[in-house]
Amino acid sequence: MTLEGSLDVSVSDDGNDVRFAFTVHNTGSGTADLQFPDACKADFAVLDEGREIWRFTDGRVFAQLIGEASIPPGESITYDGKWDDPQNGEFTAVGELCARNEQCEARAEFSV
């Protein structure tokens, strides 16, 4: 399987939140069957000059529920996250797939 990620970042007009949309594309010829160890399907991090300053999963608890998702060839699936009350600056966002059997990540530059 070949998975490629893309990450869209949008900052609210008032700068009070940043929304992330991490899309995982199956560019292979077979179905990508993803296995997740819990209810978290994707994680998001914000980097300031390479140093992590925020992570979506920090301080959150996810149901200990094994999950699965299938992405047919040529299809994609999108996972969302939100950074409430962000600080001002220039940052790099990283979206990461949390599947135990596949890896995929994407990065995007943004400013608040």
Model pLDDT, residue 1: 57
HSE-CB for 112 with a 13 A CA cutoff: 22
pTM above 0.85, yes or no: yes
Q: What is the pLDDT of residues 61-105, one digit of tens each?
A: 888 888 999 999 999 999 999 999 999 999 999 999 999 999 999
Q: What is the pLDDT of residues 76-86, one digit of tens each?
A: 999 999 999 99
Residue 21 tokens read as: 């949309």
Domains and CATH numbers, the chain: 3-111 (2.60.40.2360)
* DSSP for residue 30: S
DSSP codes of every residue in 42-108: EEEEEEETTEEEEETTTT-------EEEEE-TT-EEEEEEEEESPPSSEEEEEEEE--SS---EEEE
